[in-house]
Amino acid sequence: MDQIADLLIRIKNSAMVGKSEVVISYSKIKKAILDILAREGFLSKVELFKEEEKEFLKVTISKAKSPSHIKQISKSGRRVYSKAKELPRPLRGLGTVIVSTSQGVITGREASKKGLGGEVICEIW
């Protein structure tokens, strides 16, 4: 099972239905993606909590800037890599692309400024 796809679909579905909170199992890559979404304003809070020796993330979706489109670009069967100058710019730069680089998981804007390419994980607006 693709963990990133599950994360993105849970956020997308709960935003479409109008739920404000989602509970997701913890992993480092999920935490990094959620931190970027929180920094961009799509999420208002990301909390880590333990329940019966398992770690979970409690995500609160922002009411001011709720995500209307989330699309996974790189999938487990087909990885998509891009150079720094060829990173996609959804909605002519108004959307956000999340990229996994050698310096960690960052947005497409940050990767372009640093001159880093990498695996394009998803786009969101």
121 band by pLDDT with thresholds 50, 70 and 90: very high
pTM here is: 0.94
Per domain, the residue ranges of the chain are 3-61, 70-124
Residue range 70-124 forms a domain whose CATH class is alpha beta
Residue 69 above 90 pLDDT?
yes
| Mean per-residue pLDDT, 48-77 | 94
Share of the chain above pLDDT 90, in %: 95
pLDDT given for residue 1 in this prediction:
78
Q: How many other CB atoms sit within 10 Å of the CB of residue 111?
A: 24
CATH number of this structure's domain 3-61? 3.30.1370.30
Mean pLDDT of 8-24: 95
Question: Closest by alpha carbon to 122, among 103, 95, 102, 94?
Answer: 95
Q: 82: part of which helix (H) or strand (E)?
A: strand 81-82
Rounded CA Rg of the chain: 14
pLDDT at 93 over 90: no
